[in-house]
Amino acid sequence: MSDFEVLQTHRSFGGELKFCRHMSRTCNGPMRFSIYLPPAAASPPPVVWWLSGLTCTEENFMAKAGAQAHAARLGLAIIAPDTSPRDTGITGEDDDWDFGSGAGFYVDATAKPWSAHYRMESWLTQELPALIGAGFPVDLTREGISGHSMGGHGALITALRHPGRYRSVSAFSPICSPTRCPWGQKALPGYLGADEASWNRHDACRLMADAPAGLEILVDQGLADDFLAEQLKPELLREACDAAGVSLTLRQHEGYDHSYYFIASFMRDHLEWHRERLGL
């Protein structure tokens, strides 16, 4: 018997899209994820993890990004985890759109009451990959990671905090330095407590000085993004990468906003970036 429940299965571009739920020991409750498996090939496909942004679930990316057509052609599996635990009983969990439900920030909370359930980094990097590896025909020796906004932050810090694990890294409109923007200045103290050093350990720009050799990052950013100046700050990422000698391809696009219309416009480029680095 599987350790997860398949809630829905959809045929898509010759492959299969599945929405699943499992009882997470790490998060102390049910957690959800979606997975796209490309058409059957001679060997298991490599994996691109997609981390979504604030308010999103495991469904948004699969419904809006137009990724399945490209993943089917390129032979990539895509996994999209939910963005937080849900219905934990924590008082105030659903009060704010940018903290609590739908806003896990991909960190392991250490501050109560969040620490009992909001352990997103450990779920994403330990428990969920083990579940996926046991339940689906994918190659977890070849992993890439990407994401949008809060999920772009998540992709960057996950790759930096687990050097050598992810062969490819990209992001759309990432929160580049959460210690220096309102979203992060709310979330990091809320989940991690008052120790500022712990906040820095979850800030891509602060972590970049210790980036693994050979790291390459692709970032796309819309210049009509309402969150660009106050929340996202790609100039800080450029400065950090330049100082650390990290290869950053930062593409900025006139007229594009923060939406999935923007993401869908450049999804093909990102998946091809991952494919090249995942050995296909």
Q: What is the largest CA-CA distance in the chain?
A: 51
Contact 80, 155 (CB under 8 A): no
Q: Coil, helix or strand for 278?
A: coil
Q: Based on the residue annotation, tell me whether 225 is a catalytic residue of this protein.
A: yes
Give me 30's structure tokens: 């049910």
Q: Based on the residue annotation, tell me whether 258 is a catalytic residue of this protein.
A: yes
Q: Based on the residue annotation, tell me whether 259 is a catalytic residue of this protein.
A: no
Catalytic residue among 22, 70, 153, 258: 258
**Which residue's entry shows tokens 């018997």?**
1
Give me 260's structure tokens: 């999935």
DSSP state of 258: S
Catalytic residue among 70, 225, 270, 274: 225
Catalytic residue among 24, 34, 149, 177: 149
Residue 198: CB atoms within 10 Å: 16
Could you tell me which residues come within 8 angstroms of residue 274 by beta carbon, excluding any fewer than 6 positions away? 46, 48, 76, 144, 146, 168, 170
Contact 225, 219 (CB under 8 A): no
Give me 244's structure tokens: 């650390």
Residue type for position 37: L
Residue 115: CB atoms within 10 Å: 15
DSSP alpha helix (H) spans, 94-227 = 120-122, 128-135, 150-161, 182-192, 196-200, 204-207
Dist CA 104 CA 175 (whole Å): 14
> What residues are labeled active site?
149, 225, 258
